[in-house]
Amino acid sequence: MNTRKLVYLFFSTLLIGASSGAVIGILLDTDTYFGGGFLNFFFGLLWMFGVSAAISLVAQMGYFAYLTLQRLALGLFKSVTLWNRIQVVLILFVLFDLVYLRYISFAEAGETLAGYMVMPLLLLAYSAVIAFWKRRETNKETFVPALFFMFVVTTIEWVPALTVDVVNDTKWLWIYVTPLLAANTWQLLLLHRLTGDGRKKVS
């Protein structure tokens, strides 16, 4: 990995994350952006692009933090299998927390636990698809780390939105998660291409 590739990874991730968040933000609030003329749309788009860019920076920090954790854990446990099992346990723990803690924090009268399971399960399903894609392009040992990164790390990065009452269950919950998912997906599927790892090792 040379400097040129790092710069490409940084700016391409920034652009993809910022663009995805801006598009979703506009689609979720078309009246605000299209109801006040061109200047209103332009500055609204610019503002949303900037917010999404900041969120994508969080995704980049999270990815490199996970890469560091991955190497440290493999060195500590001396076994890919053991570390993968620990990650599976953590995935299940985060899934439970993402459902139950949001339910007890934000549920109103008449709401059921099932209603708070939809979003976490969709996130898990999406993460599994991306992890399978990563596995297909590299090797079978990358599936669990990729699933852990896409689900657990994305959830951790999403926490600022998940824990704020005025953000929960609003368009901002989706505006926040969209650049995270876009940036994390791009980083995960791009890195082995840039490093040339392919099917050689876990990355």
- pLDDT digit string, tens, across residues 24-47: 988 988 887 887 778 888 898 999
Angle of helix 80-106 versus helix 154-162 axis, rounded to 10: 10
- The answer, yes or no, to whether residue 190 has pLDDT greater than 90, is yes
- The answer, yes or no, to whether residue 1 has pLDDT greater than 80, is no
- The pLDDT mean for the chain works out to 88
Indicate the pTM of the whole model.
0.89
What's the CA angle centered on 92, arms 202 and 70, to 5 degrees?
25
- The answer, yes or no, to whether residue 90 has pLDDT greater than 70, is yes
